[in-house]
Amino acid sequence: MINFTAIDLEGQEHKLQAKPDERLMEVLREHDWGVAAICGGMCSCATCHVWVNEEWLERFPPKDADEEELLEFLDHFQANSRLSCQLILQPQHDGLKVTLAPEE
C-alpha cells in the first residue's frame, strides 16, 4: 500500500492509503471532504485540482497539453497544480503530500 497525506479545504490533514496503479482522484473522491471529480477522470473538468508538494512533483510524469490547458484557466492555479485524475500512484509515491485546491 502507498501511504500519503491529503490536506482538505479546512486545513485538516488526512492520512490515506492507495493501491499501486490507483489514481489519486479515486482515493480522494471517496471522502466527503475530497474532490468532486465530476468527469470521472477524463481530464475535462478540473474538479479534482490539487497542489502537489514541491518535492514530489518530479516523481510524476509532466503535465500533458490537455491538463496544462485546463489548469491555466483556474483562479487557483499554481506552479504545483495538478489534476489528481492524471496522477497514478506507484510505490515511489509513498509519503506523498497534496493539498486540495479551492473549488472554482
What would the 3-class secondary structure string for 30-94 be?
Answer: CCCCCCCCCCCCCCCCCCCEEEECHHHHHHCCCCCHHHHHHHHCCCCCCCCEEEHHHCECCHHHC
Distance between CA atoms of residues 90 and 1, nearest Å: 9
pLDDT averaged over every residue in the chain: 96
Residue ranges, the chain, pLDDT below 70 = none
Three cell numbers, residue 67: 491538463
Report the pLDDT value the prediction gives residue 2, as an integer from 0 to 100: 98
